[in-house]
Amino acid sequence: MSRKPIIAANWKMNIGPAEGAAFIESFKNIVKGQDIACDTVIVPPFTTIPSVLNALGGCDCIGIGAQNVSEYDNGAYTGEISTTMLQELGLKYVVLGHSERRQYFGETDAIINAKIKKTIAAGLTPIFCIGETKDERLGGILEPVLEIQLKGGLKDLTPEQVADVVIAYEPVWAIGTGLTATSKEAQEAHAFIRKVIADVFGAETAEKVRIQYGGSVKPENVVELMAQPDIDGALVGGASLKPESFAALVTSAK
């Protein structure tokens, strides 16, 4: 069965509204007339989203996502953004469980699970990130760590819901460090993730679910990574911040 590749730009806390609009104009020019074989996603900071949508001008060639969402509906939660607000903007994706949110903002598997459920209930697609630290990998507990994060984040979801979640395997030691997992290491982790999904949600769901690799992906290494049978795309930070480089990434996906 073939899964459509999905490449997503995670801008993190970079690129304000003016730069975001300029990025989209320039990206559209670079890829004009080229065949793009993957779902293309850009995930700007919240306040950049409206100008990016405006610059897209209704073109659905790029799906826009948010970098976080509240697990609550609405009300007295200062600083939070609800799924309804994202829906109103017409967003498609929400990145959840990113290691930076786990590390710096105390997000637990239970919080991430609540956010995933809210996101799905709003008709948005979670891009659900998991990954081990360097110590966990060196300590030989890569698989248990991934399994706990996966089962915790996807708890109580139906197989149909899980089939539409995008999972991003991002080894923490490879994020923003220039170190990339080798294609073999990445493939092994992806195959393990797919096996856990098969055990919990069934083989059919595991065949459908798309698993992105993230961690220092760039135009120079994306082709080899995505040639692996269980790698269905990439979640890209640093190399997504320039339109030329993000365009090179999405046009290389076959």
Helix axes 17-31, 243-252, angle to 10 degrees: 40
Query: What residues are paired with 13 via a beta bridge?
Result: none
**187 vs 216, beta carbon nearer ligand PGA:** 216
Q: Is 176 in the site for ligand PGA (CB under 6 A)?
A: yes
Span of 34-42, 45-53, 80-88, 213-221 interacting with ligand PGA by CB under 6 A: 213-221
**121 vs 179, beta carbon nearer ligand PGA:** 179
Q: Is 215 in the site for ligand PGA (CB under 6 A)?
A: yes
Helix axes 142-153, 183-201, angle to 10 degrees: 50
**144 vs 176, beta carbon nearer ligand PGA:** 176
For the CB of residue 130, give the shortest distance to ligand PGA in the complex, in Å: 12
For the CB of residue 237, give the shortest distance to ligand PGA in the complex, in Å: 2
Closest to 12 (Cα-Cα) out of 71, 100, 116:
100
Instruction: Quote the CA–CA distance of 5 and 62 in Å, as a whole number.
Output: 13
Q: Is 237 in the site for ligand PGA (CB under 6 A)?
A: yes
Q: Annotated catalytic sites, by residue?
A: 98, 170
Tally Cβ neighbours within 10 Å of residue 5: 20
For the CB of residue 32, give the shortest distance to ligand PGA in the complex, in Å: 25
Which tokens sit at 62?
Answer: 């790029």
